[in-house]
């Protein structure tokens, strides 16, 4: 399929943009700068063919549902298809009439290539070439993986296989506990264990149930026993308790019999008798007391006499007493009030004299002022002060503003004009922004100097070489490899020497040791040697010859005899020689070992000496070799003028030297920096000086520092600014002073008007009273007027009071005289106050006497009642006592008491007998009393106690046993209760099932991942075997073309692990492994493989357009050109659309590709609609 046209009707930043591909043939280069929409075009083409993805970056301009891509496609059989693609979920492919078209129609144009395959196989980008090349490299050029990946359009096989492996390992590892399956297997095992622990074996339950019922039976049995024993214990206890009761009962019965027949008096008899007697006695005493008191009262009553009429006037008398108080007071007040009237008149007269001496006291009423008038005068007087102040202040402000205005004008005239310093200020800012340049310069020069000094010092201290820093940097030094070689060579020689010398020393040591041993042997007596023996024997033979000659032949050789062993004669000498020879032989036999040792030592010594000689020779040779080596070593350093020491030290020296070299470079850099700053300072200075000069004024001296100039400039800027501010301030002051003065003058006018109005009001207010009164006296005047009015009022009021008091006194005196005349005539003639007091006291006494009489009458009645009551009681008690005596059959009171005592004894005994009988009945517990008592009496008290102790012991034991059994039963029952059919084990089993199920899922997953990885590996290998021939051959040709025949072939070879790998072949037959190729060449190798695969793919089916997205950017011009030519060739079978940002690619394409098949069009951004 070929693309005839692509309509970007509404897509990305395009609106109604059309790209045309005439005839669908050839290489189409589409050029556009960055952002022009190249990537959008590629997405649009894919969208057209396969639909616009759900999420697209291309709907920012056109609404998602309005996106439209159109196009015309041409199939290899000549069929054409004109379609429009919209975004959506269904029916997104439309015909030119806007009606939906079946997706199958499009599919028939795509030759069975799905979206992913189209993107991978028919799309090629720079990133793909890079990562493809890298992938081949990482796979060490594995033929299989390379071919497979290139065939797929650049799949990351290595990453894919690793991901599969990683996922599988997350699920399971044959050894391990963390992966899911391992962990779950452990969980499952734990759960099985849990089920086992939670399960209740039927046997356990059966046993426990048996145990519980047996315990229950036992418990019942013990309980019965306890009941029996308790009954026995009870009986014994009752018998024991009954015995003392029976004994006591017997005793009381005997005592009662002893009392004989007794009249037992009724209950409460004695009490009744005693009460009657005491009541009788008390009543007699009461009677006497009452009679006495009645007599006394009657005597008192006779002495009391009452004035009844006066007593009836009690209220009147009380009224007179009260009135008398006020009359007495009036009499006392009268003279004081009369005095007050005189005083007030005097005072009024005084005041009037002050105010208006012209007026009399009678006509003083004119000075009683109305409230309204007082108020008017007072407010006018108050207003006067304020008005005066206002007038004054207005006048002051007028003059103040006048002064201010004059001052400001004078000051302004004294200030100079402002100069324009904005240029200077800008320059200052610019320079300031550069920072403290002079300090930076000082720092930089310091750094440079100290670095230089440092380096110089180090250089001076550097051994073996001296010279300048500059010379140092270009010193012709031998390469490090040479040092390594020499070091090794020296090491070999030195090592040999060391070993040889050690050998020599060892050998010499051994010789000394042997000599020492020999000396020791000698010290122990030189053992005879074979030579000694031979000598001794020879000596003996010589003697024997002399003896024999003398003895058998009779020949004597005097001289020889004498010489044999002088000075011994022959016989002795011979004898000695025989002894001596035997002695030597004997010693030799005896000391054979020492002899052998000595012989051995001597042989050894000889050997060591030979060895020492050999080693000495070797040392000589090595020393000669070392000398040669050293000369050669020294010669290598000659060009640098260095006399080297050992290579190892020289290596360290070289390191120092390199460090020095590095530092020297640093010094250069620091110098440069300092120089740069100096230039900047000079530039800044000249600018600032120019600006200053332009402003006029004094020029700073030649050597002034930048900082000083800056400060100076800033000072000027600041002072000019200050000046401006001051001038503006003064102008403002003048303006304000003018305005203020006008305001003050207006105020002055207004105040004068108000003052005139006030003067008029004041005259009106005082008219007729005190015309011409000064304002300051107004307050005093008003005060005095008010005081005068008050005094006049006071005098009037007091005169009225005097009259009414006199009237009251007269009336009271009349009233008193009338009363005394009637009720106390003896008092007539007494002064009124005494008379009233006497009458009052008489009434009081009469009242007291009346109260006493009433009280005595009441008491007398009460006493009379007491008397009557006592007499009645005496009668009744006497009768009762008589009746009691009769009841007891006694004549006298003495007899009565005796009868009572006998009755009491009998009653007490009978009570005790009853009580004991009751006790016995309780103990008998229902049995007949006689029977029980008989049984008890038959028992021996001591035996009862013993039996009881026995029974109690048995009972305690039984109860203890019972407690134990109940406890066991309780525990067992509790355990049985927990066996309640709970579902814990079943729940655990369910959990185990869940784990098992999860295990199953994960195991399935694991096997799929593992199988997937294995299949993929097998397939890669299979694909290699199949495609190696044709694809690799074609790839080799293409590789030759794109590398411009730097490589002529591509072959499978074998790697370190015998696996097939790719190698490039040069024209001279040299094979180059991937590692030996440059990155670019690797990319080109990938491109070759990729295009070869693509050709094969296209040959097998409907070829689709190949979209190349700036893939060749990293190639050099020659190879890019070559690659473009290859693409041009490819265009004969497969449409190639080549997108690029780079203008030079367009030129290269023009150079490389036949103009007949090359189409170039440009896209530019067309953002937005009109």
CB neighbour list of residue 415: distance below 8 Å, 6 or more residues apart: 723, 726, 727, 730
Stretch that binds another protein, among 453-461, 740-748, 1018-1026, 1054-1062 (CB under 8 A): 1018-1026
Stretch that binds another protein, among 200-208, 511-519, 692-700, 1043-1051 (CB under 8 A): 200-208
Determine if 603 is a binding residue for another protein (CB under 8 A). Answer: no
Determine if 977 is a binding residue for another protein (CB under 8 A). Answer: no
**Sign of the CA dihedral with 138 first, then 139, 143, and 147 last:** negative
Q: Considering only residues 243, 1003, 1048, 1113, which one is a binding residue for another protein as defined by CB under 8 A?
A: 1003
- Residues in region 1107-1126 near another protein by CB under 8 A: 1107, 1109
- Residues in region 44-63 near another protein by CB under 8 A: 54
Phi and psi (nearest 5°) for 848?
-65, -45
Count of CA atoms in the C-beta half-sphere (13 A) of 446: 6
Stretch that binds another protein, among 421-429, 734-742, 876-884, 1020-1028 (CB under 8 A): 1020-1028
Residues 430-469, one symbol each (x = binds another protein by CB under 8 A, - = not), give ----------------------------------------
Determine if 40 is a binding residue for another protein (CB under 8 A). Answer: no
Q: Considering only residues 199, 219, 517, 968, which one is a binding residue for another protein as defined by CB under 8 A?
A: 199
Count CB neighbours of 480 within 10 A. 11
Stretch that binds another protein, among 190-198, 369-377, 424-432, 1121-1129 (CB under 8 A): 190-198
Determine if 528 is a binding residue for another protein (CB under 8 A). Answer: no
Determine if 212 is a binding residue for another protein (CB under 8 A). Answer: no
Nearer to another protein, 175 or 776 (CB): 175
Phi and psi (nearest 5°) for 95?
-80, 180
Q: Considering only residues 56, 82, 182, 225, which one is a binding residue for another protein as defined by CB under 8 A?
A: 182
DSSP, collapsed to helix, strand or coil, labels residue 477 as coil
> CB 986 → another protein: shortest distance, Å?
4
Nearer to another protein, 114 or 914 (CB): 114
> CB 91 → another protein: shortest distance, Å?
12
> CB 77 → another protein: shortest distance, Å?
16
Q: How far is CA 555 from CA 574, 578, 716, in A?
A: 16, 21, 155
Distance CA 222, CA 962 (A): 6
DSSP 266: P
Determine if 981 is a binding residue for another protein (CB under 8 A). Answer: yes
DSSP, collapsed to helix, strand or coil, labels residue 85 as strand
> CB 1145 → another protein: shortest distance, Å?
18
Q: Considering only residues 390, 434, 864, 1096, which one is a binding residue for another protein as defined by CB under 8 A?
A: 1096
Beta bridge partners of 1001: none
Distance CA 1031, CA 1044 (A): 20
Nearer to another protein, 155 or 469 (CB): 155
> CB 138 → another protein: shortest distance, Å?
13
Edge-to-edge strand list for the sheet holding 93-95: 14-20, 2-11, 68-74, 80-86, 93-95
Q: Considering only residues 79, 162, 206, 793, which one is a binding residue for another protein as defined by CB under 8 A?
A: 206
Determine if 174 is a binding residue for another protein (CB under 8 A). Answer: yes
> CB 1049 → another protein: shortest distance, Å?
23
Stretch that binds another protein, among 187-195, 335-343, 506-514, 622-630 (CB under 8 A): 187-195
Cβ proximity of 262 and 898 under 8 Å: no
Cβ proximity of 252 and 909 under 8 Å: yes
> CB 925 → another protein: shortest distance, Å?
46
Count of CA atoms in the C-beta half-sphere (13 A) of 1083: 20
Phi and psi (nearest 5°) for 1164?
-130, 160
Nearer to another protein, 64 or 917 (CB): 64
Cβ proximity of 226 and 958 under 8 Å: yes
Count CB neighbours of 23 within 10 A. 12
> CB 685 → another protein: shortest distance, Å?
59
Chain CA centroid to CA 261, Å: 110
- Residues in region 1046-1085 near another protein by CB under 8 A: none
CB neighbour list of residue 458: distance below 8 Å, 6 or more residues apart: 656, 659, 660, 663
Distance CA 783, CA 314 (A): 58
Stretch that binds another protein, among 196-204, 555-563, 631-639, 758-766 (CB under 8 A): 196-204
Q: Considering only residues 278, 719, 862, 997, which one is a binding residue for another protein as defined by CB under 8 A?
A: 997
Determine if 402 is a binding residue for another protein (CB under 8 A). Answer: no
Nearer to another protein, 164 or 667 (CB): 164
CB neighbour list of residue 209: distance below 8 Å, 6 or more residues apart: 976
Cβ proximity of 237 and 948 under 8 Å: yes
Q: Considering only residues 1100, 1155, 1168, 1169, which one is a binding residue for another protein as defined by CB under 8 A?
A: 1100
Nearer to another protein, 83 or 408 (CB): 83
Cβ proximity of 892 and 284 under 8 Å: no
Q: Considering only residues 276, 995, 1043, 1135, which one is a binding residue for another protein as defined by CB under 8 A?
A: 995
Count of CA atoms in the C-beta half-sphere (13 A) of 464: 21
DSSP codes of every residue in 832-873: HHHHHHHHHHHHHHHHHHHHHHHHHHHHHHHHHHHHHHHHHH
Distance CA 234, CA 1048 (A): 130
Q: Considering only residues 200, 562, 578, 1146, which one is a binding residue for another protein as defined by CB under 8 A?
A: 200
Distance CA 976, CA 699 (A): 118
> CB 1105 → another protein: shortest distance, Å?
13
Determine if 882 is a binding residue for another protein (CB under 8 A). Answer: no
> CB 1013 → another protein: shortest distance, Å?
9
Distance CA 289, CA 278 (A): 17
Cβ proximity of 958 and 224 under 8 Å: no
Distance CA 392, CA 400 (A): 12
> CB 75 → another protein: shortest distance, Å?
14
Count CB neighbours of 414 within 10 A. 7
Residues 103-142, one symbol each (x = binds another protein by CB under 8 A, - = not), give xx--x--xxxxx-xx-xxx-xxx-xx--xx----------
Distance CA 110, CA 1101 (A): 10
Distance CA 619, CA 502 (A): 11
Determine if 204 is a binding residue for another protein (CB under 8 A). Answer: yes
Stretch that binds another protein, among 561-569, 624-632, 990-998, 1145-1153 (CB under 8 A): 990-998
How many chain residues touch another protein (CB under 8 A)? 103
Edge-to-edge strand list for the sheet holding 27-31: 123-125, 1106-1109, 1136-1140, 27-31, 1158-1162
Residues 144-173, one symbol each (x = binds another protein by CB under 8 A, - = not), give ---xxx-xxxxxxx-xx--xx-------x-
Stretch that binds another protein, among 429-437, 700-708, 1014-1022, 1077-1085 (CB under 8 A): 1014-1022
Nearer to another protein, 181 or 688 (CB): 181
Distance CA 58, CA 41 (A): 10
Q: Considering only residues 725, 850, 1011, 1164, which one is a binding residue for another protein as defined by CB under 8 A?
A: 1011
DSSP codes of every residue in 584-614: HHHHHHHTHHHHHHHHHHHHHHHHHHHHHHH
- Residues in region 70-109 near another protein by CB under 8 A: 89, 103-104, 107
> CB 147 → another protein: shortest distance, Å?
8
Determine if 185 is a binding residue for another protein (CB under 8 A). Answer: yes
First to last CA, the chain: 36
Stretch that binds another protein, among 193-201, 250-258, 609-617, 857-865 (CB under 8 A): 193-201
């Amino acid at each position: 399929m070929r693309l005839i046209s692509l309509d970007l009707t509404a897509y990305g930043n395009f609106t109604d943009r059309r790209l045309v591909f005439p005839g669908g043939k050839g290489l189409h280069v589409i050029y556009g700068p960055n952002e022009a929409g190249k990537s959008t075009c590629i997405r649009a083409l894919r969208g057209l063919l396969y639909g616009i993805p759900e999420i697209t970056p291309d709907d920012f301009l056109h609404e998602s549902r309005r996106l439209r891509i159109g196009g015309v496609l041409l199939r290899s059989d000549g069929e054409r298809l004109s379609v429009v693609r919209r975004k959506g979920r269904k029916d997104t492919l439309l015909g030119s009439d806007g009606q939906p078209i079946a997706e199958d129609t499009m599919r028939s144009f795509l030759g069975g290539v799905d979206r992913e395959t189209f993107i991978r196989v028919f799309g090629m980008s720079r990133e793909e070439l890079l990562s493809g090349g890298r992938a081949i490299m990482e796979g060490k050029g594995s033929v299989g993986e390379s071919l497979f990946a290139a065939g797929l359009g650049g799949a990351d096989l290595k990453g894919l296989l690793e991901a599969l492996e990683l996922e599988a390992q997350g699920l399971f590892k044959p050894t391990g506990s963390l992966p899911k399956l391992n962990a779950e297997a452990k969980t499952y095992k734990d759960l099985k264990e849990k089920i086992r622990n939670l399960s209740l074996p039927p046997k356990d339950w059966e046993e426990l149930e048996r145990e519980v019922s047996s315990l229950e039976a036992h418990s019942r049995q013990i309980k019965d026993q306890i009941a029996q024993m308790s009954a026995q214990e009870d009986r014994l206890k009752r018998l024991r308790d009954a015995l003392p009761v029976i004994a006591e009962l017997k005793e009381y019965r005997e005592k009662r019999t002893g009392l004989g027949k007794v009249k037992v008096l009724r209950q409460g008899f004695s009490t009744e008798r005693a009460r009657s007697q005491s009541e009788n006695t008390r009543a007699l005493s009461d009677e006497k007391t009452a009679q006495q008191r009645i007599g006394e009262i009657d005597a008192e009553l006779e002495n009391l006499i009452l004035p009844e009429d006066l007593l009836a006037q009690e209220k009147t008398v009380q009224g007179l007493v009260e009135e008398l108080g006020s009359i007495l007071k009036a009499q006392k007040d009268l003279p004081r009030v009369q005095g007050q009237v005189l005083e007030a008149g005097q005072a009024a007269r005084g005041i009037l004299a002050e105010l208006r001496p012209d007026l009399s006291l009678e006509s003083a009423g004119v000075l009683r002022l109305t409230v309204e008038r007082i108020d008017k005068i007072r407010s006018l007087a108050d207003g006067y002060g304020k008005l005066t102040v206002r007038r004054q202040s207005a006048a002051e402000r007028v003059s103040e503003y006048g002064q201010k205005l004059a001052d400001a004008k004078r000051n302004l005239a004294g200030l100079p004009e402002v100069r324009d310093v904005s240029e200077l200020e800008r320059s200052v800012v610019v320079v300031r922004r550069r920072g403290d340049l002079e300090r930076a310069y000082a720092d930089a020069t310091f750094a440079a100097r100290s670095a230089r000094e440092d380096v110089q010092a180090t250089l001076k201290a550097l051994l073996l070489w001296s010279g300048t820093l500059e010379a140092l940097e270009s010193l012709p030094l031998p390469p490090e490899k040479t040092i390594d070689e020499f070091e090794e060579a020296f090491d070999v020689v030195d090592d040999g020497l060391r070993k040889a010398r050690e050998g020599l020393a060892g050998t010499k040591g051994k010789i000394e040791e042997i000599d020492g041993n020999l000396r020791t042997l000698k010290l122990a007596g030189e053992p005879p040697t074979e030579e000694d023996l031979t000598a001794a024997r020879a000596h003996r033979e010589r003697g024997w010859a002399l003896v024999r000659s003398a003895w058998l032949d009779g020949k004597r050789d005097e001289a020889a005899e004498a010489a044999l062993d002088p000075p011994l004669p022959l016989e002795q000498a011979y004898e000695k020689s025989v002894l001596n020879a035997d002695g030597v032989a004997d010693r030799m036999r005896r000391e054979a070992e020492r002899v052998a040792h000595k012989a051995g030592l001597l042989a050894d010594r000889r050997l060591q000496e030979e060895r020492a000689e050999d080693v000495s020779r070797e040392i000589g040779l090595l020393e000669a070799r070392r000398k040669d080596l050293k000369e050669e070593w020294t010669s290598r350093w000659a060009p640098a003028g260095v006399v080297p020491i050992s290579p190892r030290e020289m290596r360290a020296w070289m390191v120092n030297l390199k460090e020095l070299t590095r530092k020297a470079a640093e010094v250069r850099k620091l110098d440069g920096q300092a120089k740069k700053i100096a230039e900047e300072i000079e530039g800044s200075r000249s600018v600032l000086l120019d600006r200053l000069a332009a402003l006029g004024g004094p020029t700073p001296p030649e050597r002034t520092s930048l900082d000083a100039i800056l400060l100076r400039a800033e000072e000027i800027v600041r002072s000019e600014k200050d000046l401006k501010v001051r001038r503006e301030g003064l102008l403002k002051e003048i303006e304000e002073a003018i305005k203020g003065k006008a305001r003050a003058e207006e105020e002055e006018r207004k105040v004068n008007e108000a003052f005139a109005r006030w003067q008029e009001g004041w005259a009106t207010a005082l008219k007729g009273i005190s015309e011409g009164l000064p304002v300051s006296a107004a307050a005093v005047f008003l005060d005095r007027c008010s005081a005068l009015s008050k005094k006049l009022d006071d005098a009037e009021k007091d005169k009225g009071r005097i009259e009414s008091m006199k009237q009251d006194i007269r009336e009271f005196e009349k009233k008193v005289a009338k009363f005394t005349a009637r009720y106390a005539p003896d008092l007539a003639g007494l002064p009124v106050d005494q008379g009233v007091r006497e009458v009052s006291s008489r009434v009081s006494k009469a009242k007291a006497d009346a109260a006493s009489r009433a009280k005595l009458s009441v008491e007398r009645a009460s006493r009379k009642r007491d008397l009557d009551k006592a007499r009645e009681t005496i009668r009744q008690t006497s009768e009762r006592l008589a009746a009691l005596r009769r009841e007891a059959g006694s004549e006298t009171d003495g007899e009565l008491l005796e009868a009572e005592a006998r009755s009491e004894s009998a009653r007490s005994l009978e009570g005790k007998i009853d009580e004991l009988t009751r006790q016995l009945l309780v103990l008998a517990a229902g049995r007949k009393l006689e029977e029980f008592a008989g049984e008890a009496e038959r028992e021996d008290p001591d035996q009862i106690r013993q039996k009881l102790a026995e029974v109690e012991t048995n009972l305690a034991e039984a109860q203890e046993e019972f407690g134990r059994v109940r406890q066991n039963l309780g525990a067992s029952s509790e355990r049985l209760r927990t066996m309640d059919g709970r579902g814990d084990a079943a729940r655990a089993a369910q959990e185990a099932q869940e784990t098992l199920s999860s295990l199953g899922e994960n195991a399935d997953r694991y096997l799929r991942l593992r199988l997937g990885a294995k299949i993929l590996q097998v397939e890669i290998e299979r694909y290699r075997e199949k495609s190696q021939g044709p694809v690799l051959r074609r790839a080799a040709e293409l590789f030759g073309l794109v590398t411009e025949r730097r490589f002529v072939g591509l072959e499978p070879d074998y790697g370190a692990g015998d696996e097939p790998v790719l190698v490039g072949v040069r024209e001279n037959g040299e094979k180059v492994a991937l590692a030996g190729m440059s990155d670019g060449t690797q990319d080109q190798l990938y491109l070759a493989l990729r295009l070869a695969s693509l050709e094969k793919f296209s040959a097998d089916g409907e070829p689709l357009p190949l979209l190349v997205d700036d893939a060749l950017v990293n190639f050099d011009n020659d190879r890019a050109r070559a690659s473009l030519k290859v693409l041009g060739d490819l265009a004969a079978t497969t449409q190639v659309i080549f997108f690029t940002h780079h203008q030079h690619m367009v030129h290269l394409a023009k150079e490389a590709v036949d103009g007949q098949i090359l189409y170039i069009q440009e896209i530019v951004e067309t953002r937005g609609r009109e």
